Amino acid sequence: MDSDRISRRRVLGSLGATGVIALAGCVGGDDDGDNTSDNGGDNGGDNGMDNGMDNGGDNGMDNGGTTSGPEGTLRIGVLQDFSGQLAVYGAQGTAGFYSGLAHKADNDPLSNEAVSAGDYTYSVGDIDIEIRARDTQFAPTQAQQLASELVTQDEVDMLYGVGNSGGAISVINGVVDQAGVPFITGPAASAEITAGEGTCRDLVFRANENTAMDARSGGVYIADNTDVDQMALFGADDAFGSSVVDNYEAVLENRGVDIVDKRSVPEDLDQPEWVGLLDEAENAGAQGIVGGFTATGLTGFFPAFLDGGYDMQLFGGFASRLTLGVVGDTLQQVLDDFSDEALEAAEFGPFTTRYHWNQYDNPINDAFVESHANAYGVVPDLFTSGAFTAASAVIQAMNEEGEVSPDAVVSGMTGMTVTDTPKGENGYTFQEYNNQARSEMTVAPVTVTPDSQENWPAAIQPGDPIERVSADDVTIPAEDVSCDLT
């Protein structure tokens, strides 16, 4: 075994269950709330600046291209996890949404104090946004109960949020169907929310990227940019794992890569049990392997894979700053030379990413990164682009429809190409057949965070993009979803 191989095993073996590989950034979530990979969290601005409660938007300027528009008040119920195991995701979903409103208002976003449960107001031109933010605590039952209260007691016009997919599904089935209010879900990432007939609705939209987009972008990269032509796909025996495996399989097979082993595996499988499965995958001829697991499932998978010295390459996706912080600290401890060259020699990456602040170079993203860092003390992260786009789309819909109302939001967002997004002008388009926004993804190497990079509390970060995977390649096509809203 050569020195590079030993280095790679040392690095990944020390990472244990941090969950950076195999779509670690996904927010899945069964009804028990455990299907996630970034455990713990912060409020999104733990090292940030407190700008006070800026009401914003006082100049009446709509940055989407008009200086006048409809007048009225829209009340939005924001459901995010502010105190649960993934408060960092709730912070991204909220701060990103506030930043989208701020961009349309050409003003500063609500401050870090508003990234918490409470009632807030913000103006975009002559549109007054009343925000009712509530803490779901990453619990599906809590999300549904709060959504019901927001609709019946606070009389909100629409709902936005929920980080846990089980919670988003509960809100759709238990509140949206009965109350008839529009719901933009996110960061909840299960592909089934907008791809399955059980939750696909005219009133349900998602701007955030989903697990299928993660898997499909990874599959495109493997097929088009590596020498791997035989793959093993392992996924957890739940909706999250199935989504990862199914979407990788669809893309890889369409591009001529053979799937020689495919398995649904319990998350609690221990290391000795994994040895037999990995032996079978390698004996079947697999040159690469995807592990569609959360942190829980990786505790058995990683040690077995690394201790066995398998000649299969791991593939997956970038996580948020929380996981990358843990991974970066570990890499610093195990690498004698903590450098970009050492990371490349250890075959650590490249990985796919939905969005990170340094993956897009355009005026909208530049302004977004600056204002977000000023307000919240961190640069935008994995889920903030989708959240920004959700808010941007709401304002665009009402301006285009000439009316401030939930009906205008639904009508305007259906089939909309969103003008102002961090991925550039017209960077997201809501598919008419399922109201899921499609957007491109990137593939990037893992690099050491330079000293000059402010407001990114992790020792590693995505490097410059080496590949862009088009929106058409990463989205589930109409013929492969079990709903049709057209």
DSSP code string of 244-264:
HHHHHHHHHHHTT-EEEEEEE
- Distance (Å, whole) CA 300 – CA 272: 8
Backbone angles phi, psi at 113, to 5 degrees: -65, -25
d(CA 424, CA 366): 10
**243 within 8 A of 196, measured Cβ to Cβ:** no
Rounded Cα distance, 126 and 336, in Å: 58
Q: Which helix (H) or strand (E) holds 121?
A: strand 118-124
Q: What is the pLDDT of residue 7?
A: 45
- pLDDT for position 297: 66
Sole residue written with tokens 């095993």: 9
Over the stretch 394-451, which tens digit does the pLDDT of each residue have? 999 999 999 999 999 999 999 999 999 999 999 999 999 999 999 999 999 999 999 9
Q: State residue 435's pLDDT score.
A: 98
pLDDT band at 325 (very low <50, low <70, confident <90, very high): confident
Q: How many residues does the chain have?
A: 486
Q: What is the pLDDT of residue 281?
A: 96
Q: Between 68 and 33, where is the model more confident?
A: 68
- On whether the CB atoms of residues 89 and 163 are closer than 8 A, the answer is yes
Q: Which of residues 453 and 30 earns the better pLDDT score?
A: 453
| pLDDT for position 298 | 63
Predicted local distance difference test score (pLDDT) of residue 23: 43
> How does pLDDT run across 92-142, given as a tens digit for each residue?
999 999 999 999 999 999 999 999 999 999 999 999 999 999 999 989 999
| Domains, the chain, ordered by start | 3-25+212-356+461-469 (3.40.50.2300), 72-210+358-439 (3.40.50.2300)
Instruction: Report how far residue 366's alpha carbon sits from residue 384's, in angstroms, rounded to the nearest whole number.
Output: 14
Residue 328's pLDDT is what? 81
On the question of pLDDT at 85 being above 80, the answer is: no
Which sign, positive or negative, has the C-alpha torsion 410, 79, 359, 295? negative
For the chain, the 3-state helix, strand and coil shares in percent, each to the nearest 5, are: 40, 20, 45
Residue 171 clears pLDDT 70, i.e. is over it: yes
Residues 6+ apart with CB under 8 A from 325: 457, 458, 459
Contact 278, 311 (CB under 8 A): no
Phi/psi of residue 118, each to 5°? 160, 180
Higher pLDDT, 36 or 274: 274
Which pLDDT score is estimated for 93? 97
Give me the sign of the Cα torsion angle 267, 273, 274, 280: negative
Supply the pLDDT for residue 147.
98
Residue 461: closest CA among 342, 381, 386: 381
The β-bridge relationship of strands 428-430 and 437-438 is antiparallel
Q: What is the phi-psi region of residue 419: left when phi exceeds 0, alpha when psi lies from -120 to 50, beta otherwise? A: alpha
CA distance 58 to 293: 46
* pTM for the model: 0.86
Distance CA 135, CA 175 (A): 17
62, pLDDT greater than 50 = no
pLDDT on residue 184: 98
